[in-house]
């Protein structure tokens, strides 16, 4: 999981809004009703696409040079930033059951202290993994 920056080509549409295409990534495109919406949607589709690459252990293409991206008249290029870890936290928050073993005496002490095992394990894993 990482932070990424890719150039995106914004194409104004006749009926308003913008189409957005990432020339460095296959099938990575979106649109928005206005410029702000198009940028928001571009961040979302970029994070989704790159997160999918990560999950499938696919090589992630290097972003092209901003100044070398070809544009047709009326189009423009903008850099789009995404964080796939943030995306995963937001959209992949389904609970997964884990079985673990601890000594009985430790279990009894933890229960007496009203320890929430799931919460404690999550906090410890986030600290250990630095997320």
Position 1 scores a pLDDT of 60
Quick one: pLDDT at residue 93? Answer: 67
Q: How far is CA 26 from the centre of its chain?
A: 17
The pLDDT, as a whole number, for residue 122 is 86
Res 51: pLDDT: 92
pLDDT of residue 97: 82
According to CATH, the topology of domain 3-91 is: Double Stranded RNA Binding Domain (3.30.160)
pLDDT of residue 59: 93
Backbone phi and psi for residue 14, each to the nearest 5 degrees, phi listed first: -60, -40
Q: And the tokens for 122?
A: 């999550």
At residue 30, φ and ψ (nearest 5 deg) are -160, -170
For residue 58, how far is the Cα from the chain centroid? 15
Give residue 118's region: left, alpha or beta (phi > 0; psi -120 to 50).
alpha
pLDDT along the chain (131 residues), means of 10: 92 95 95 96 95 92 92 96 86 77 90 90 88 77
Domain coordinates of the chain in residue numbers?
3-91, 95-131
pLDDT for position 2: 84
């Amino acid at each position: 999981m990482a932070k990424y920056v890719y150039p995106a080509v914004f194409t104004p549409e006749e009926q308003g809004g913008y189409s957005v295409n990432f020339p460095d990534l296959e099938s990575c495109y979106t649109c928005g009703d206005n410029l702000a919406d198009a940028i928001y949607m571009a961040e979302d589709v970029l994070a989704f696409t790159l997160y999918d690459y990560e999950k499938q252990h696919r090589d992630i293409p290097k972003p092209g040079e901003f100044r070398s991206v070809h544009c047709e008249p009326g189009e423009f290029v903008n850099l789009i930033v995404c964080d796939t870890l943030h995306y995963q936290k937001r959209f992949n928050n389904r609970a997964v059951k884990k079985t673990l073993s601890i000594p009985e005496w430790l279990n009894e002490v933890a229960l007496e202290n009203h320890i929430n095992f799931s919460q404690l394990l999550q906090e410890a894993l986030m600290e250990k993994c630095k997320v």
